[in-house]
Amino acid sequence: MNQSLITPAAPHTVIRPGQLRKFLTRMAANKLASAGGLIVLFYIIVALFAPWIAPYDPYNIHLPDKLLLPSWDHWMGTDDKGRDLLSRIIYGTRLSLLIGVAAVSIGAIFGVFLGLVAGYYGGWLDAIIMRIMDILLAFPGILLALAIVSALGASLINVMIAVGVFSIPMFARIVRGSTLTVRKLEYIDSIRTLGGSDLRIILVHILPNIMSPIIVQITLRLATAILSAAGLSFLGLGAQPPSAEWGALLSSGRDYMFSAPYLALFPGLAISTLVIGFNLFGDGLRDALDPKLK
């Protein structure tokens, strides 16, 4: 008999149209989540179409126009080198989203791998992996990132690596807990009895069933990654001049807090708005995907 015909099907590995419809209905009913999703979508559109949206070249220095107040010609004013602040914030959206996505990708890839291995195999391997994660969690995230960037040097790539590294423990712990729950289900034992390899069980039957908490964590960590990267750039350890990254813009604007406060105000608003958007959207995802609500 063909083994595939008697292999038990993993529950919920395929999203059915009815389930997707319920999920979208829950998301639409959550006004805060919808608002957060619209904010995130707005910034994604801005990042994708920055060259067509930005009214000026963000790196074009024009000293006669330095420190102009917001006006019809320069909606957010100009900086100390005469560069249009709105254009720099628009282009900075690309950098901030890139840093967030890259950092969270690093954390998710390594964290999910370690969590799956620890949760599935258990024993001494689980103990070693989790103790390493506990050591990383013992350090406040921003301090760990500061230490890594200080060791590697100030640059955007090193900021991505640093923020990604302190995101690994969160993914590992969440995935390990979910894996421990799924691996005890009867269909996993049945697949193993029928000769299913560990790799196939992990990738085909466990990972798809624990994607909900991973997706929620990715969304929430994007907000943390963008905020942490902006903080490192503000301290001079991330994006370097003349980069238009939001944290760097905020750092340069602090020197003009009294004479030109808009130089710090508008980048700060951009950072806080995008972070709030991701948090609202992530909270909505968590509520919509919560098994207790199904």
Each residue's pLDDT expressed in tens, for the chain with a length of 294 residues: 344 333 444 444 445 555 667 767 777 778 888 899 999 999 999 999 999 999 999 998 888 888 889 989 889 989 888 899 999 999 999 999 999 999 999 999 999 999 999 999 988 999 999 999 998 888 777 788 888 888 888 788 888 898 899 889 999 999 999 998 888 888 787 887 787 788 888 888 888 888 888 988 999 899 989 998 888 888 888 777 788 889 889 888 888 888 889 999 999 999 999 999 999 998 888 877 764 544
Average pLDDT, the chain: 84
Class of domain 42-48+83-293: mainly alpha
Nearest to 144 by CA among 231, 219, 239, 217: 231
122: left (phi over 0), alpha (psi -120 to 50) or beta: left
Q: Is the peptide bond before 267 cis (omega within 30 degrees of 0)?
A: no
Q: Which two tokens stand for residue 53?
A: 């949206």
pLDDT for the residue 54: 92
CA geometry: angle at 159 spanning 153 and 163, to 5°? 130
Longest pairwise C-alpha distance within the chain: 82
Q: Which two tokens stand for residue 30?
A: 């959550």
Give the count of beta carbons closer than 10 Å to the beta carbon of residue 41: 12
What's the residue count for the chain?
294
Identify the three-state secondary structure at position 84: strand
What's the pTM value of the predicted model, to 2 decimals? 0.84
Angle formed by the axes of helices 211-234 and 141-152, nearest 10°: 60
CA geometry: angle at 221 spanning 220 and 224, to 5°? 100
How far apart, in Å, are the Cα atoms of 271 and each of 95, 115, 149? 12, 31, 21
Give the count of beta carbons closer than 10 Å to the beta carbon of residue 146: 19
How would you label 127-138 residue by residue, b for 16+ Cβ within 10 Å and e otherwise? eebbeebeebbe
**Are the CB atoms for 76 and 134 separated by under 8 Å?**
no
E strand map for 3-112? none
- What's the number of CA atoms in the CB half-sphere (13 Å) around residue 145? 31
pLDDT for the residue 1: 39
pLDDT for the residue 252: 87
